[in-house]
Copies of this chain bind each other. A is one copy, B any other.
Amino acid sequence: MKRQRVQELGLVIGSGTCGPHNSITDVPDVLVGHSTLIRGKGNLVPGKGPIRTGVTAILPHRGNLYEESVIATVHVINGFGKAVGLAQLLELGRLETPILLTSTMNVGLVEDAVTQYVVEHNPMAGISSPTPNPIVAECHDGFLNDAQGRHVRKRHVFASINDASSIVVEGCVGAGTGLTAFGYKSGIGTASRVITMKSGEYTIGCLVTPNFGRRGSLIMGGIPIGHLLEDDDNVTVEANSTHLGGGSIIVILATNAPLSSRQLSRIARRAVIGIGRTGSIISHGSGDFVIAFSNAYREKRSLSDSIIQREQFRDQLLTPFFSAAIEVTEEAVLNGLCMATSMVGRDDNFVEALPLEEVYQQLNVHLKG
């Protein structure tokens, strides 16, 4: 059975309306790009390979983000992670670079690459203009990948930004290349919902890197699929996510609704329910972060006015966004699992893809039941 998204398997998550591509890029102007690194096989030679990793860039808009920042925030679900740039994001509530996702031990080099990228496009950054604040988040792909090698370099980062488009490839690409979730191969997943308000339609989109969960605990639409498939045998994979503290999920929430950073924080704090509904218990070693932004308003750095005029939703109206944030997170996680394909990595470690045929049958039994 070919890889397909969870909706194609007949499973509907929640009651919301999907955007045209059920993707984070359904939010107007949002772009996503990947650089995927798959090279070598056999025994691990630290620093050499095999390589099963990559980088994913999420752009709130195609313009110069350093010059036209957007409102954003971060919520830390479980801080066992190495994301960079969070303190300034919280202090100012603004995102001024693309968001980059990559392999845990690679965050330093990717941060440096984003710094370089900003400098190349803004020659006065750090000279007569403030230093940029790159946002880089990570998951540990060390069960399959030579993580110590830190193979993502400047050119990969630049490519992921420059090639970003409104088409999001899911599965074993970019930062999703080497991921494992619930003992199955995981990867990039995305989803979206459209919310109709009196003032118009707004979209909330999500992109995730699911890399958590024990074999057997996967839940799909309330159905304990992991448990039902549990006679499978690839239990060694658990070592990855459980024992090494290597679990994690980064959730990117994007919207074009006019919201403040405080309001985005309220939305971001709901994502954990979407994660939890797929079976996660947010284990000790799982670095789970939610980064949320709204590109409804772009604040120009060079603005001469001291006062800005902004629209903002009333808090009373946020509940549909909360509901949608949960749905897109849950669905994006499941899409990441459904779209990923089996992979052999370092030391011939093997992670099988979620067996869609069996999943489909089980879903069928239970949904019709």
Contacts and interface: CB of A to CB of B under 8 A. Distances in A.
A283 interface: yes
A1 interface: no
Interface in A302-351: 303, 305-319, 322-323, 326
Contacts of A114: 108
Contacts of A199: 305-307
A197 B304 CA distance: 13
Contacts of A98: none
Contacts of A46: 119, 123, 127
Nearest to A322: B281
B276 A272 contact: yes
A322 to B, nearest CB: 5
B148 A316 contact: no
A269 B365 contact: no
Interface stretch (A54-62, A73-81, A166-174, A352-360): A73-81
Contact of A273 (B123, B276, B306): B276
A87 interface: yes
A316 B69 CA distance: 13
A79 B91 contact: yes
A151 interface: no
A13 to B, nearest CB: 11
B127 A245 contact: no
B91 A87 contact: no
A26 to B, nearest CB: 21
A5 B125 CA distance: 35
Classify chain A: how many residues form its interface, as a range: 35 or more
A298 interface: no
Contacts of A289: 87
A309 B309 contact: yes
A191 B285 CA distance: 26
Interface string A113-140: 1110001000101111111111000001
A222 interface: yes
Contact of A87 (B79, B307, B318): B79
Interface in A192-221: 197-199, 219, 221
Given A130-B245, A299-B314, 11 more contacts: A91-B266, A105-B131, A112-B112, A119-B148, A126-B142, A199-B305, A272-B276, A281-B323, A282-B322, A307-B314, A308-B311
Q: 6 closest Cβ contacts across the A-B interface?
A: A79-B91, A273-B276, A222-B222, A369-B369, A108-B112, A108-B111
12 contacts: A46-B119, A79-B87, A105-B131, A108-B109, A112-B150, A125-B148, A199-B307, A222-B222, A222-B223, A270-B281, A273-B276, A276-B277
Interface of A: 44, 46, 76-88, 90-94, 104-105, 107-115, 119, 123, 125-134, 140, 142, 147-148, 150, 197-199, 219, 221-224, 242, 244-246, 258, 260-262, 266, 269-270, 272-277, 280-285, 287, 289, 299, 303, 305-319, 322-323, 326, 365-366, 369
